[in-house]
C-alpha cells in the first residue's frame, strides 16, 4: 500500500480541523496578590527552599519583592541599591547573608532555622 508523503493528515484532507487550544491565563497576578500576605510569602519561600534550587529561590524572592511593592521599593527599605537588588534576585544571584536578611526584613520576613522532623520508623 502506498503512503502519502505530502505532510497533510487525513483529517486535514477531509476538511476537518482540530479546535485551537484555549489561551492560558497567567498565574502571576494571582500569585502576586497572594504573596502580599507575609504568611503566604513565608510558606511560598519555604516550599521553594525545600526544593533546593537556588535559581528558583531567587525567582521566588523576586516575586515576593514585586508583591510587596516592587523590587525598587524593597531595595530602598533594605538600604540597598536598586541595581544590586535586581542583580541579587536574578537567576544567577548569589546574595550575601546580610543582603538576603535585609531584603527579607524589608518584605516583613526573616530567616528561621528549625530542626528536621524525625521520621517514624
Q: Is residue 15 part of a domain?
A: no
Residue % of the chain over a pLDDT of 70: 81
Q: Is residue 62 part of a domain?
A: yes
Residue identified by cell 519555604 is 46
C-alpha cell at 28: 502571576
The whole-angstrom separation of Cα 99 and Cα 19 is: 50
Q: Is residue 2 part of a domain?
A: no
pLDDT in tens, 81-91: 999 999 999 99
* pTM value > 0.85: no
pLDDT attached to residue 119 = 76
Strands (DSSP E) contained in the chain are none
Range of the domain at 60: 28-106
Q: Is residue 120 part of a domain?
A: no
* Confidence tier at 19 by pLDDT (50, 70, 90): low
Q: Is residue 82 part of a domain?
A: yes
> How many structural domains compose the chain?
1
Q: Is residue 19 part of a domain?
A: no
pLDDT in tens, 55-104: 999 999 999 999 999 999 999 999 999 999 999 999 999 999 999 999 99
Q: Is residue 1 part of a domain?
A: no
The whole-angstrom separation of Cα 107 and Cα 45 is: 12
The whole-angstrom separation of Cα 32 and Cα 84 is: 22
Amino acid at each position: 500500500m502506498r503512503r502519502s508523503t505530502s505532510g497533510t493528515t487525513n483529517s486535514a484532507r477531509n476538511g476537518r480541523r482540530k479546535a485551537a487550544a484555549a489561551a492560558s491565563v497567567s498565574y502571576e497576578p494571582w500569585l502576586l496578590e497572594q504573596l502580599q500576605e507575609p504568611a503566604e510569602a513565608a510558606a511560598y519561600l519555604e516550599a521553594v527552599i525545600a526544593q533546593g534550587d537556588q535559581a528558583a529561590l531567587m525567582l521566588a524572592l523576586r516575586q515576593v519583592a514585586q508583591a510587596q511593592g516592587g523590587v525598587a521599593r524593597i531595595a530602598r527599605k533594605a538600604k540597598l541599591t536598586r541595581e544590586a537588588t535586581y542583580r541579587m534576585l536574578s537567576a544567577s544571584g548569589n546574595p550575601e547573608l546580610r543582603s538576603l536578611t535585609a531584603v527579607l526584613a524589608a518584605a516583613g520576613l526573616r530567616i528561621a532555622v528549625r530542626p528536621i522532623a524525625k521520621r517514624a520508623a
